[in-house]
Every structure is written in C-alpha cells, then in structure tokens.
Amino acid sequence: MKGRTLPFVLAAAALSLQPPAPAEAASQPDSLRLKIGQMLMVGFRGTTLEDAPDVRRAIKHQKIGGVVLFDYDVPSRTPLRNITSPEQLRRLSGDLQERSDTPLFIAIDQEGGRVARLKPARGFPPSPSARSLGLLNDADSTRKAALTTARTLRDAGITMDLAPVVDLDTNPLNPVIGKLERSYSADPAIVRRQATAVVRAFDSEGIVPVLKHFPGHGSSRADSHLGFTDVSESWRKIELEPYRRLFREGYPGAVMTAHVFNRRLDPKYPATLSRATLQGLLRGELGFRGVVLSDDMQMKAIADSYGLEEALRLAIEAGVDVLVFANNTTAYDPKIAEKAARLIRRMVEQGSIPADRIDESYRRIMALKTSATEPSR
C-alpha cells in the first residue's frame, strides 16, 4: 500500500517474537497471549464503548486484534447493534482504537446493494450492488463507487472492508451470492476488472480490502450460514482466476475463506479447515503470502459439524490467520474471545498446535497492519 505508514511499528516491536531473557521474563508481557489475541476478530453488542462491556473485556484481557461491526442484531432480531449514525460510528471506532494497546482491524461488510451495513436511512451514502456494476462493466464507475465507500469508511474510522466479493455468478439462484446480487459476473475477466478497481480505490484511501469467498462460493445451492454446503459437483477451476490475476498484480489486502465443502480439493474438510485448500492451493499454487481470514466460525456449516476446539485447531493448522467470530448468527456469546483464546493457548502449550504456527500468523497480521496507510489527500 502507498502513503504514510500508520503507527503500528512500535507496537510490533514491543511484541517481539524472540522470548525474553530469564532475568527479564517477569517484567515482559505475555507474548503468547498477545499473539493469540491478534488472531481473533469478534463481533459485539453496543453503540458506545460504555454500553459494550464484552468488547472492552476482550480488548483488555484477550488483546484481540480486530472487531467486526453490524447494523442489525440477528439473535435478538432488532435493528440496534453497533451503528446508528456517522457521528456515533466515528466515536465508537475512535474509542475502540483508544482502548486497544495495538491498533485494531475495525471491519465491516460494506459490499453495496443488499449487503451494506452503512445504510442511507442512517445517514450514509447509497452504494450500488456488485451485479449492477458488473452489468455496467465500466471501471471508472466502479472506482467512483468504491471511492465513495472507502471515504465513508475512512471517515467513520473503519479500517477493513470485507469486500470485494470475487465469487463468480455461476448460479444466479444461489441463495447467499447470486440472489443477493453480490457477484459482479459469471465472467472471471469482468470480476477481476471490477475487483481491481475496488481494490485500488480502497488502497488509495487506506482501507484494507478482503477478497471473498475462497476458493469460490458462487456455484453453491445452499447457504453456509445455515448448514453444510457442498460445491463438489458445481465448482469449476475457473473460479480461481480472479484470485490468480489479482495476486499477480500485487494484491495488497487479505483473503476470506468459504465454509464450502469441495471433495475435489479436500475429501474430508470444508475450505476453512482444509490444509490442502489453504496451504496447497491458496499459498502454494496461487502464491498468496498475505493474511487469511476465516468466514464466521459460528456459521452452521462449521458450528454444526465441529466443536469449537476442533474447529480452531483445524483452521489454524489449515493456515487461517484471523479467526472471525461475528457473534451474530442464532446466538450471542459474550465470552467467545475468552473461550477461543483459552483453547488456542492450551493447544499450543500441549503441543497440538506448534508455537511457530502462531508466530507465522502474528507476523502476517502485523505486516498487514504496518502496511496500512493514511489516505493520500
């Protein structure tokens, strides 16, 4: 990313990967706790820091590396979660950053169209859907729309957008992609051009983009929020092309996994938990070296089939760097960060997760944070 580096370098230096000398150990912070914390991104309830005790506790005790914000609370079915107005959101974001020793990824799903947490009814500018932009297929129009989004996010203190979607629109009846107009096109060349325009606009304003959902969710007939989703028969290798081209062009952001099962890539595990998919395909064949985020670990495609400890172990072994717990599915768990951190630490101490695997994720996360920039003005 271009521009002036944000002040993450001192925080990174303070969290040295080298263990302290014995004489210094008593005065040093718990580096394993800090590294594990950076791997956690959680959702929470509250429109101010004062009425959000769960995230205050997670920042203070678990040292979480990120939060994800929503405008609607699914478990309680109420349109009151984290966002009420631009001014309120700016204050909340600022207070969150001030509370954290290491600057946070503050993430949101602002794709445009029907998937937009920042809505005009609450004072935010409208944003077109990916499908409408793909049908127009004009890079300048897409860039202008993305710049509006990026500046809106920047002004609100949001640092990461969980977008753009680069799933191909191979099944227009797909309940979670096609029917919601979240895909630009079934043509990978159009998807790549549209995503490139978005990524460049985000980059120019210091917003971290996140390509999703790897290795492709566009052909699915089911919604992984609701349960097991098998794309073994419908997925095609062409769905990798947007990723391949963007990586070759020096893509600066992160990638989010899909919870889809594809026996052609892994006969046992869905993508989020699949070493073959993330290490072999994403990092090996496609050469991606950046941060990998999981899709929401509380979605039923994972939660209904795996216990929390097993899901954490498999995801980390597979190569996930940031474990996302949106806390916005069927239930809300105020202690999810504490539970996840405790389980990961225990697995590291028992040897079922190598300590150097935690270090790998920590390095990638801090590298992305240090490369995040202030917008050029």
Give the SS3 label for residue 292.
strand
Under DSSP, the state recorded for 19 is P
Annotated active-site residue 213? The verdict is no
Give the SS3 label for residue 112.
strand
CA pair distance 108, 195, nearest whole angstrom: 17
CA pair distance 362, 371, nearest whole angstrom: 14
Q: In the chain, what's the furthest Cα-to-Cα distance? A: 64
208-231 in b/e form (b: 16+ CB < 10 A) is bbbbbbbbbbbbbebbbbeeebbb
Provide the β-strand partners of residue 209: 161
Write down the catalytic residue from 225, 259, 296, 321: 225
Residue 24 is encoded by which pair of tokens? 């210094």
Beta-carbon count within 10 A of 13 CB = 9
Annotated active-site residue 295? The verdict is yes
Amino acid, single-letter form, for residue 67: V
85, HSE (Cβ side, Cα atoms, 13 Å)? 3
- Looking up tokens 């799933």 gives 167
210 sits in which H/E element: strand 208-214
Write down the catalytic residue from 71, 109, 295, 321: 295
369 sits in which H/E element: helix 355-371
Catalytic residues: 225, 295
